[in-house]
Amino acid sequence: MKINIDKFCVPPGKKVNLKHWPTRVKPFYDSEEEYPELLEHHVRKLSDLQEQLYADTRYAVLLIFQAMDAAGKDSAIKHVMSGINPQGCEVFSFKQPSAEELAHDFLWRAVCRLPERGHIGIFNRSYYEEVLVVRVHPEILRAQLLPPEDLEDKNIWKHRFQSMVDYERHLHRNGTRVVKFFLHISKEEQKRRFLRRIDEPAKNWKFSQADIRERARWKEYTRAYEECLPATSTEEAPWHIIPSDDKLNARLIISAAILRVLKSLKLGTLEPNQQRRSDLLKIRKMLVKE
């Protein structure tokens, strides 16, 4: 079944009410037996296109994943990118900023981790935390060593949205394609996954008391996402709202969205041109004669 990615894209500037965006849609697989075949098909295509991207060295791709806890970011990255050559891919998880990072502007640490041309970079959480978790927890903002006039600015979030949009447009103009995913999970499904993490000893490490504290702020996070997504979704760097109560379906949608971006790039062919082939044949003759 063909996946219409546009159905999951956030229109730039159009108001988002997450209640109207489903957390589950009709599966794009007919059975759990068929699902691995479909995902493997996507993974093989991603692998082939990544090889072209790596050889071309003119473009880079930055994948951004944001979500509530237990929405499946880690497993989506693990399964969708399973066929990617690690030599051309880096994954970064943004945790609490260091003293050095706090001494710079809020985008600085992300700039330091951008993928080089020919590579795919993955941000498992990203600079968008600066308008999500920082907005829900104002004490974090107060610890960021900002000038007092910035701390008192009532439009600080709008200004940060604009900084992010400008930053991503700059990246686009310089060959980096930014693809953003919000894994949309229901509160009921999060509860089920939390309970599994508690009930299954092998998954206990995935759960912490902080998860419950953040769950209590569900409405605050929802409001933060509802303002962030339309304000920072652009034609160059759209947000995709991925229904994630069904992890298998979510992985198929995500992989299809990444494929669409890679296919849109004007990548050079892996086949050498006539001059390159002629040069290689000359070198071959030299090697044979040794």
The answer to whether residues 108 and 144 touch, using CB atoms and an 8 Å cutoff, is no
Q: What is the pTM of this model?
A: 0.93
Instruction: Give the 3-state secondary structure of the chain.
Output: CCCCHHHHECCCCCCCCHHHCCCCCCCCCCCCCCHHHHHHHHHHHHHHHHHHHHHHCCCEEEEEEEECCCCCHHHHHHHHCCCCCHHHEEEEECCCCCHHHHCCCCCHHHHCCCCCCCCEEEEECCHHHHHCHHHHCHHHHHCCCCCHHHHCCCCHHHHHHHHHHHHHHHHHHCCEEEEEEEEECCHHHHHHHHHHHHHCHHHHHHCCHHHHHHHCCHHHHHHHHHHHHHHHCCCCCCEEEEECCCHHHHHHHHHHHHHHHHHHCCCCCCCCCHHHHHHHHHHHHHHHHC
Position 233 scores a pLDDT of 98
Predicted confidence (pLDDT) per residue in 160-172, tens digit: 999 999 999 999 9
C-alpha–C-alpha distance, residues 228 and 129, integer Å: 10
Instruction: Choose the CATH number for 5-289 among 1.10.530.10, 3.30.1360.20, 3.30.1490.100, 3.40.50.300.
Output: 3.40.50.300
Predicted confidence (pLDDT) per residue in 102-126, tens digit: 899 999 999 999 999 999 999 999 9
Position 123 scores a pLDDT of 98
Domain ranges of the chain: 5-289
Predicted confidence (pLDDT) per residue in 245-279, tens digit: 999 999 999 999 999 999 999 998 767 777 878 88
Task: Give residue 192's pLDDT band: very low, low, confident or very high (50, 70, 90).
Answer: very high
